[in-house]
Structure 1
Amino acid sequence: MNRIWAICWLEIRRVLYRPASYALMFGMPLIFTLLFGLLLGGAGPEKPRLALVDEDRSAVSDTVAKRLAQYEMLQVETAGLAEAEGLLHDKRIAGIVVIPQGYEQ
């Protein structure tokens, strides 16, 4: 076991005494992170789309719908249940939010 630690210590010392090794240890990961982040950063969908089905049509459900639409991370559109299920089946939306009848009570 002492031989393993001795070899490790020698390799660490060898790496630390060469200035080029600092560029490899710290510079290259930063460069690759920035490079791939810039190249692949905008590749995905911008906002997930949701269909909102308001079956209650009350003041409370209207408030819930408005609050849901305020989220910047989502794109919310209102639809009927059959239309929303069709959009979900066609994978044009990510999910359905249903406010059932009698929600205000």
Structure 2
Amino acid sequence: MKKMMSISVYGEPGNNATVHFPGRRNPAVAMQSDTLQGLIADLKHARQSLANGDTAEAMDELGGVLERLMEMHTGMVNDVRREGGPDGTDWPAA
């Protein structure tokens, strides 16, 4: 179902953007489909490396995915802070 609504966009969108949906407490990250596909491909590669017994390669891939996700999270927190919003320390994890 497609739904039209107004959302807040923080900062300058790029491969991902910090957004806030009406009625939600916490901000979110919207990402381009190619960025999401890249993360999925990296995770699939890590899984295959583990299946092949190549733990070093799997750890490298997982480290890259973790780094990219942490960068997105840091960017989200910084975007919200710049706009005077909460700093994210009290955002629930779930």
TM range (shorter): under 0.3
TM-score computed with the length of structure 2 as normaliser: 0.27
Q: Whose helix fraction is larger, Structure 1's or Structure 2's?
A: 1
Query: What TM-score results when the alignment is normalised by the length of structure 1?
Result: 0.25
Larger Rg: 1
